[in-house]
Amino acid sequence: MKRRLLQLMSAISLLLLLTGMVTPLMTLTRLWVFDEQMSIFSGIAALWEQQQFGLAALIAIFSIALPLAKLMLLFYLLETRKRGPGLARLLGWVHSYGRWAMLDVMVVAMLIVTVKLGVIVSIDVHYGLYLFAAGVLLTMFLTSMTVHYLERQLEGRV
């Protein structure tokens, strides 16, 4: 039962993260006239167009690739029936990566700061930011619960 609940939470987290990545995080209004909606994908594209390749790659890795890889690993850990040193090693990796989880949120803040804003700018936050943040928080919680559940299983207590 607990395994199925964790798998459901993983699916919800994946949906929140993906939706948060493609929906608008914010609208930048320059000089009260020019509006530009930004998502994580469009922000990365804007950085790429501005030839800030390193920063675009950094944001793509920490906001897209690593969170999705972590969720895929959690799916695998919850689905596999194999037990042994390989599972313990993967659990250790997931637990260690958990320390970097807040980097996902910091990357969004970097995206806001690094986009060239202009003279007078106002920023309106949209639901995409809340969806992405909810996905990150749920993934952090899910990681903790999964590691705890699987460690208990390895010890033979479940």
What average pLDDT score do residues 58-66 get? 84
5: confidence class by pLDDT, cuts 50, 70, 90: very high
Highest mean pLDDT among 42-56, 70-84, 88-102, 118-132: 42-56
Q: Which of 23-32, 37-46, 100-109, 138-147 has the lowest mean pLDDT?
A: 100-109
pTM, entire model: 0.78
Domain boundaries, the chain: 2-6+36-154
The alpha helices in the chain, defined as continuous H runs, are: 2-22, 40-49, 53-60, 66-79, 85-97, 103-114, 127-154
- As to burial, measured by CB atoms within 10 angstroms (0-12 exposed, 13-18 middle, 19+ buried), residue 128 is buried
Rounded CA-CA distance 106/92 in Å is 24
Q: Is the pLDDT of residue 25 over 60?
A: yes
Which token pair is 69? 């890889």
What average pLDDT score do residues 35-53 get? 86
